[in-house]
Amino acid sequence: MSNSNLVAGSLAEAMAEAAAEIEEALDVLLPPVEGPEAVLAEAMRWGAMGGGKRLRGFLVMEGARQFGVARDAARRAAAAVEMLHAYSLIHDDLPCMDDDALRRGRPTVHVKFGEATAVLAGDALQAQAFAVLAAEETHSDPAVRAELAHRLALAAGPKGMCGGQMLDILAEAASEPLGEPEIARLQLLKTGRLIEFAAEAGAILGKAPWPLRHALAAYGRELGAAFQIADDLLDATATPEETGKATGKDAGAGKATLVGLWGVERARAQAERLAAQARTHLDSFGERADLLRQLADYTVSRRK
């Protein structure tokens, strides 16, 4: 018991440290600007900075640490993935999408800056994510930079995040609720592919051998699925005070979730199963992967 608390403590510390480093990197990579277009940079910073767990960025950095990647390179790639994620949240929150006014306890970008600026800030964050990954400062080997940009683009595009968001929109408008395979696919595309890429990015940066790179990607895929169920469990069971955002929204909006389909207990059991599976993909990694193992457990047990 005291041991598992210590372990949880060290994960929390490592995540907080990575989050602070990523915040610093974002501050450098998304500088405030002078002149009339200052508002765009401000909206980008509002959407990308100021918190969040930085799960995806942490995955990049922990994955990279397995292969001894320079911390600065890992931090840049982590910041790029968080920019991509932030853009998706800004667009998801738009009135024509989920119409959310609150994110991490703060007004969303379109509430604070207006709708047109929110669309642009999301667009510019996506471009900036690729600018960072493809820049020489991120890695001296252009093959690594091209591979990072290519994999991120696939994770973000029509067969990844955008495709999943499309399925989500269609599911809300559909007359019949989605079944299990449809929901699982929706979530794999909408959130899974980017989390998978985040886990794989460290291996790409470290030019890891294929089996290890694939193992990290598989870990990320299962972790992402567990994470999504846990997120939906929080929506169903936690309070806005705990999570810093509105809860109980999925049931109200008729959102397609496995929690809605299975109920809380079965969904929790499935999330735990997925987290355990995620851990098994790390079997060929040594002690250095312990934080990633703990992350799988934390993903399911977290309360925010």
Which one, 250 or 290, has the nearer CB to a copy of itself? 250
What residues line the site for a copy of itself (CB under 8 A)? 33, 36-37, 39-41, 44, 87, 91, 94, 96-97, 114-117, 119-120, 122-124, 126-128, 130-131, 133-135, 141-143, 145-147, 149-150, 152-154, 156-158, 160-163, 165-167, 169-170, 182, 189
Q: Which of 180, 178, 187, 179 is nearest to 160 (CA)?
A: 187
Contact present, 30 and 41 (Cβ < 8 Å): yes
- The distance from CA 66 to its chain's CA centroid, rounded to whole angstroms, is 20
**DSSP assigned state of 103:** E
Side chain identity at residue 247, one-letter code: T
Contact present, 228 and 236 (Cβ < 8 Å): no
Which one, 8 or 94, has the nearer CB to a copy of itself? 94
Q: Which of 191, 196, 190, 178 is nearest to 257 (CA)?
A: 178
Give least dist CB 182 to a copy of itself, A: 8
Give least dist CB 283 to a copy of itself, A: 31
Which one, 8 or 97, has the nearer CB to a copy of itself? 97
Contact present, 103 and 159 (Cβ < 8 Å): no
Token output for 245: 């955002």
- The distance from CA 195 to its chain's CA centroid, rounded to whole angstroms, is 5
Give least dist CB 38 to a copy of itself, A: 9
Give least dist CB 271 to a copy of itself, A: 25
Which one, 167 or 229, has the nearer CB to a copy of itself? 167
SS3 247: coil
Which one, 70 or 94, has the nearer CB to a copy of itself? 94
Give least dist CB 219 to a copy of itself, A: 24
Give least dist CB 20 to a copy of itself, A: 24
Give least dist CB 280 to a copy of itself, A: 30
Rounded CA-CA distance 19/73 in Å is: 15
Which one, 256 or 275, has the nearer CB to a copy of itself? 256
CB atoms closer than 10 angstroms to residue 12: 12
Which one, 183 or 199, has the nearer CB to a copy of itself? 183
Rounded CA-CA distance 165/94 in Å is: 13
